[in-house]
Amino acid sequence: MKKKKIFNIIGIMTGTSMDGIDISYISTDGINKVKILKEKSYPYSLYEQIKIKKINITNISKKSIINSHNVKITNLIIKYLKKFLKEFTIIKKGIDYISLSGQTILHIPNKNISLQLGNPKLISNFFKIKVISNFRINDIKNGGQGAPIGAFYHKFLIKKINTNAAIINLGGVANFSLIYKKIFISSDIGPANAISDDLMMYFFKKKYDKDGKLASKGNINKKIFDLFKKDRFFRKKYPKSLDRNNFHYLIKELKKIKVHNALRTSLNFTIFSIMNLLDNKICSDVNELIFTGGGRKNKYLISQIKKLNNQLQISLIDDYGLNGDLIESQMFGYIGIRSLKKLILSTPNTTGVKKNITGGNLYY
Residue pLDDT, tens place only, 219-266 = 999 999 999 999 999 999 999 999 888 998 999 999 999 999 999 999
Name the pTM for this structure.
0.93
Mean per-residue pLDDT for 284-289?
98
Could you tell me the sign of the dihedral formed by the alpha carbons of 134, 168, 236, 219, in that order?
negative
Rounded to the nearest 10 degrees, how much is the dihedral formed by the CA atoms of 119, 97, 108, 198? -80
- CA gap 56, 92 in Å, rounded: 35
Could you tell me the sign of the dihedral formed by the alpha carbons of 178, 160, 327, 108, in that order?
negative
Mean per-residue pLDDT for 303-319?
95
Cβ 266 vs Cβ 195: under 8 Å: yes
Cβ 348 vs Cβ 115: under 8 Å: no
**pLDDT tens per residue, range 113-145:** 778 889 999 999 999 999 999 999 999 999 999
Distances (CA, A) of 94 to 8, 134, 176: 7, 24, 34
- CA gap 168, 295 in Å, rounded: 10
Determine the distance from the C-alpha atom of residue 117 to the mean position of all C-alpha atoms in its chain, rounded to a whole number. 15
Q: Which of 129, 41, 132 is nearest to 84 (CA)?
A: 41
Residues 6 or more apart in contact with residue 206 via CB below 8 angstroms: 200
**pLDDT surpassing 70 at residue 56:** no
- What residue ranges in 110-153 does DSSP mark as E strands? 113-117, 131-133
DSSP label at residue 134: -
- Give kind and range of the element (H or E) at residue 245: none
